[in-house]
Structure 1
Amino acid sequence: MIALFVKSPRFLDTTLRDGEQTPGVSLKPDDKLNIATLLSDIGVSVIEVGSAVASDGERESLRLISDAGLAAEICTFVRGVQLDIDYAADYGAESVHLVIPVSDLHIEKKLRKDREYVTQMAWDSVEYAKERGLIVELSGEDASRADQAYLYDLYAGGVERGADRICFCDTVGVMTPERASEIIPPLAALAPLSIHCHNDLGLGLATTLSAMKSGASCAHATVNGLGERAGNTPLEELVMSLEVLYGVKTGIRTDELYHLSTLVSRLTRVPLPTNKAIVGEMAFTHESGIHAHGILRDAATYEPIMPEMVGRRRRILLGKHSGSASVEAALSEMGYKTETRQLQEIVSRVKQLGDEGKRVTDSDLHAIAEAVLDISCTPVIRMKQFTTVSGNSVMPTASVTLTVNGEDITQASTGAGPVDAVIMALRKAVQDVGDITLEEYHVDAIYGGTDALVDVTVKLMKDGELITSRGARTDIIMASVEAMISGMNRLLREKDENRGKNTH
């Protein structure tokens, strides 16, 4: 009887092979090394580095990663062809993912061969790979649509000839979790078995979990679920499901999952869906009044895991769904204290902005609070104008004109980009009234599209006081300026202003 979930499951990450087959994705060798290094560092057992036979760039990537001294086993995809196996061995792979078509559809339509030919090809390739000193994972392509008796015999013969592992590929994502629980146990009794699922019908994760519960000791996955068509089983979702729902210790450093996800998204140029589980922008973001209220009292009310578990942080946005609790929490963070009637009025105005289709920024909330609390407070800084210039042959430059304590000040600066330049110019313009340092800059697109609303968060420090400020516009430079001006005003206000204790 095979135990439910092995004690120490293994993960073969195929982001650099199957993930790179996502249309439009092409990674340079250095990019592949960066991803492989982080995958190894977080505890992934095996990294599949492309297909060495495909190109010079793929062979360079394999050599580069094989020579990097990573803890993970370095694997490469091969067909049942001696040339593929030779390239794998010659360029430093420790193991091969030997993929053999096993369904009659693939055998007859793609290869135009018969079962006997494919069986012999598989067994001969296993023997040759072992002669070349490679660990062999014998993989059945389109296994979920294959004759299972034929598949069993092919695997069994491969194991007899030296295959170290076998892999069941649900190549077009048609296997159900229920069927996996029937098919996997007898195959897993032959040798350590991996499960490789695609997500064409949205069942990749569920089927992978079912296979692992039924005896599979290793799962193939990709970061962010990258892959052809609808992609593969997402590594981050699989790891957290095992850890949280089934209590399986995966050995993966989960607090690095978000870092890994954003690195892969940036290097592949495939943006994360905003509502994607675990790593999507909205995964730990709340606006609804009831939800935000519950979260502020106990995060477990509306979050299955703490965001810190995956290297993230919680965000509460203000809009038409916001309730008193979330607005009060935001006001408190800014230093405002309100009576019940004042809070109700502020909430009403926040909702009004939300009904107009706007997202309420820190600057908006400041303005609303100061109006409702009747605080007589003249901003230290007012923006009069700014310009930025950048291009492929122009050093990014920005000039700003601010009114600082009633005096117009103009400053200019260059930077690594237009945002960097305008932030440098703003800091120079206020240096006579306060030395403000930018401690952190973060930008998010709230939704997709070229007109995406951009949310900029800055952390500014003056004399040991650290504050967070935000700006939200469709223009990233405008959003950055808004966040900086709002934050600098808060830091530069007189100490005796006492805005947070108004009791009008």
Structure 2
Amino acid sequence: MKGFESNFNKNDNSIDFHIKEVEEPNLYRDLFPYSEIPKVKFDGKAVEMDLPEDIWITDTTFRDGQQSMTPFKVEQIVRLFNYLHELDNNSGIIRQTEFFTYTNRDIKALEECMALGYKFPEITTWIRANKDELARVKELGVKETGMLMSCSDYHIFKKLKLNRQGAFNKYVSVVEKALEYGIVPRIHLEDITRADFFGFVVPFVNKLMDLSRQSGIQVKIRACDTLGMGISYACTAVPRSIQKIISGLKKYCNVPSSALEWHGHNDFYNVVSGSSTAWLYGCSSVNTTLLGIGERTGNCPLEAMVMEYGQIKGNTKNMNLHVITEVANYFCSTMGYDIPVRTPFVGSDFNVTRAGIHADGILKDEEIYNIFDTNKILDRPVVVAVNEYSGLAGITAWINTYFKLSGSDKISKRDERVAELKEWVDSQYENGRSTAISNKELELVVKRTFPELMYVEGSCVGYNK
């Protein structure tokens, strides 16, 4: 197998790949020295972009995401599942979500969600490579389950205490049992970005595709970037190249795009770009969580991939994107989750401007400084925060956006009453104030200054009014 990495573009899919057994685990110490920051190796070989015609999103909020928080209550899982359904709005973009099956609470939530009878998202489960856990999935009547099958030597040798052939044999026996039950196996290749791609991953997946052909059931492959080591740069070498992992699974294993899924983590801030790269190079499905919750730095945010989908495909079909704001409100108000205020699309300040020059631009036309019509798309009107730097333009922009004034109803920054408000704002900071003026506080002062606004309802600008 030596040399395949440097000949990735050659037509080698006729080669008989087999498990390359090693006495010592291949930990790629040149790339992952552990005592230093991981390294990127370039091999000078690029692969062609191969965007599938049909791409979609899957969800693991109730599995990987939930592990990072206080366990969800049954009613919270059902509510969030309903939100996923409402957001998808029968578009099929949010295609699946996965559940644990370990506790009575998990099973009750799963059964209540199944009883709703939604087509999207389809309910699947997650188990370890264990026949007893597989039997439980069969009893529950779930049609597809993810199976944890670690593929790097870090996991095979250090965690499982097996060699490569031992792991191969263990995994294959569980897959065969799933196929016997008529359950679609979704193989979670844990830690693929530190795995020996040609020495273990390719021969293992080839065996899975053989079983798939024999059974008539399509085995699915989830490539798991467990530590966020995946790289999107062109000409990166395996095992870190997302392009080559996805392209290689298609080329050397004949896995169809529709059976390929990418699962990323955000340890190096690459989770969104990595997931988009997986789409662009032949993977139909990317795995996400609501708000990106998950272990350590989290999973790929579902709402981010909705926006990526819209940019790549040019539309979001009939999705109801206002639900993204409802989800964020629910996490904050009901689940006690603090969303960092600058988080794109869901943070309370994601479309708030404080700079005076930006406020002046928004006053002329909000399109100058707003990423898109956030009011129309996300039910989040653009907002200007008022502080010591706001000036007349900032205060005027706040009034017009907060009270949703348009046309002849808009307040001009030349209105003498705006100058009065600026004097009040300036006095606040001259007297030692160091925080921004809250919307509710400013609303009261503005209504005293502009009596015509006394009965005009202020806008909801997220969860922190």
TM-score category by the smaller chain?
Answer: 0.7 to 0.9
Shift of 1:183: 2.1
1:316 equivalent in structure 2: 384
Shift of 1:297: 2.5
Say which structure, 1 or 2, has more relative contact order (CA 8 Å, 6+ apart).
2
Deviations 1:195-222 (A, max 9, x none): 0001112111111111111111000000
The 5 A counterparts of 1:146-185 are 146-149=195-198, 150-162=200-212, 163-178=218-233, 179-185=241-247
Deviations 1:91-149 (A, max 9, x none): 13221011201100101111101111211222222221122221221120111110001
After TM superposition, the structure 1 stretch with the greater mean CA deviation from structure 2, 288-297 or 71-80, is 288-297
Q: Return the letter of the residue paired with 2:310.
A: E
2:396 equivalent in structure 1: 328
The 5 A counterparts of 1:50-199 are 50=100, 52=101, 54-71=102-119, 72-149=121-198, 150-162=200-212, 163-178=218-233, 179-188=241-250, 189-191=254-256, 192-199=259-266
1:480 equivalent in structure 2: none
Shift of 1:439: 8.2
User: Contact (CA 8 Å) 1:37, 1:70: kept in 2 or not?
Assistant: no
Shift of 1:345: 5.0
| 2:364 pairs with 1:287 | no
Q: Structure 1 pair 200/364, CA: closer, same or farther in 2 (3 Å)?
A: closer
1:25 equivalent in structure 2: 70
Q: Return the letter of the residue paired with 2:389.
A: H
Q: Pick from 221, 244, 250: which aligns with 2:311? A: 244
Q: Structure 1 pair 354/212, CA: closer, same or farther in 2 (3 Å)?
A: farther
Q: Return the letter of the residue paired with 1:274.
A: V
After TM superposition, the structure 1 stretch with the greater mean CA deviation from structure 2, 359-368 or 275-284, is 359-368
Shift of 1:64: 2.1
**TM-score normalised by L of structure 2:** 0.74
1:399 equivalent in structure 2: none
Q: Return the letter of the residue paired with 1:110.
A: K
After TM superposition, the structure 1 stretch with the greater mean CA deviation from structure 2, 59-68 or 190-199, is 59-68
User: Contact (CA 8 Å) 2:366, 2:382: kept in 1 or not?
Assistant: no
Q: Structure 1 pair 300/252, CA: closer, same or farther in 2 (3 Å)?
A: same
User: Contact (CA 8 Å) 1:199, 1:230: kept in 2 or not?
Assistant: yes
Q: Return the letter of the residue paired with 2:192.
A: A
| 2:286 pairs with 1:219 | yes
Q: Pick from 67, 77, 84: which aligns with 1:39? A: 84
| 2:395 pairs with 1:347 | no
Aligned equivalents of 1:327 and 1:301: distance in 2?
Answer: 17
Aligned equivalents of 2:54 and 2:331: distance in 1?
Answer: 26
Aligned equivalents of 1:89 and 1:440: distance in 2?
Answer: 53
Q: Structure 1 pair 63/363, CA: closer, same or farther in 2 (3 Å)?
A: closer
1:391 equivalent in structure 2: none
Structure (1 or 2) with the larger CA radius of gyration: 1
SS in 2 for 1:46: strand
Aligned equivalents of 2:355 and 2:458: distance in 1?
Answer: 28
Shift of 1:353: 2.3
Q: Structure 1 pair 351/210, CA: closer, same or farther in 2 (3 Å)?
A: farther
SS in 2 for 1:137: strand
User: Contact (CA 8 Å) 2:381, 2:461: kept in 1 or not?
Assistant: no
More strand as a share of residues: 1
1:260 equivalent in structure 2: 327
Deviations 1:176-197 (A, max 9, x none): 1122122211213423210000
The 5 A counterparts of 1:345-494 are 346-354=421-429, 356-360=433-437, 455=465
Superposed CA RMSD in Å reads: 3.1
User: Contact (CA 8 Å) 2:58, 2:288: kept in 1 or not?
Assistant: yes
2:238 equivalent in structure 1: none
1:6 equivalent in structure 2: 52
Q: Structure 1 pair 146/266, CA: closer, same or farther in 2 (3 Å)?
A: farther
Question: Please, which runs of 5 or more residues in structure 2 have no aligned partner?
Answer: 1-46, 89-93, 213-217, 234-240
After TM superposition, the structure 1 stretch with the greater mean CA deviation from structure 2, 321-330 or 335-344, is 335-344
SS in 2 for 1:16: helix
Question: Please, which runs of 5 or more residues in structure 1 have no aligned partner?
Answer: 381-435, 447-454, 456-504
Aligned equivalents of 2:415 and 2:244: distance in 1?
Answer: 61
2:91 equivalent in structure 1: none
Aligned equivalents of 2:418 and 2:333: distance in 1?
Answer: 41
After TM superposition, the structure 1 stretch with the greater mean CA deviation from structure 2, 258-267 or 78-87, is 258-267
Aligned equivalents of 2:318 and 2:462: distance in 1?
Answer: 30
Aligned equivalents of 2:457 and 2:420: distance in 1?
Answer: 34
**TM-score normalised by L of structure 1:** 0.69
Deviations 1:3-61 (A, max 9, x none): 64323312110000000000x420122221221122123222001112x1x22222222
SS in 1 for 2:262: strand
Q: Return the letter of the residue paired with 1:146.
A: A
2:34 equivalent in structure 1: none
Q: Structure 1 pair 354/240, CA: closer, same or farther in 2 (3 Å)?
A: farther
Q: Structure 1 pair 55/280, CA: closer, same or farther in 2 (3 Å)?
A: same
Aligned equivalents of 2:138 and 2:73: distance in 1?
Answer: 21
Aligned equivalents of 1:125 and 1:198: distance in 2?
Answer: 26
After TM superposition, the structure 1 stretch with the greater mean CA deviation from structure 2, 3-12 or 147-156, is 3-12
Shift of 1:304: 1.7
Aligned equivalents of 1:35 and 1:148: distance in 2?
Answer: 37
1:383 equivalent in structure 2: none
User: Contact (CA 8 Å) 1:67, 1:92: kept in 2 or not?
Assistant: no
Q: Return the letter of the residue paired with 1:294.
A: G
Q: Pick from 210, 219, 229: which aligns with 2:296? A: 229
User: Contact (CA 8 Å) 2:392, 2:419: kept in 1 or not?
Assistant: yes
User: Contact (CA 8 Å) 1:195, 1:208: kept in 2 or not?
Assistant: yes
User: Contact (CA 8 Å) 1:198, 1:232: kept in 2 or not?
Assistant: yes
Q: Structure 1 pair 311/341, CA: closer, same or farther in 2 (3 Å)?
A: closer
Kindly, what percent of the aligned residue pairs are identical? Answer: 22
Shift of 1:441: 9.8
SS in 2 for 1:45: strand
User: Contact (CA 8 Å) 2:383, 2:461: kept in 1 or not?
Assistant: no
Q: Return the letter of the residue paired with 1:177.
A: S
Aligned equivalents of 2:226 and 2:152: distance in 1?
Answer: 10
Q: Return the letter of the residue paired with 1:29.
A: V
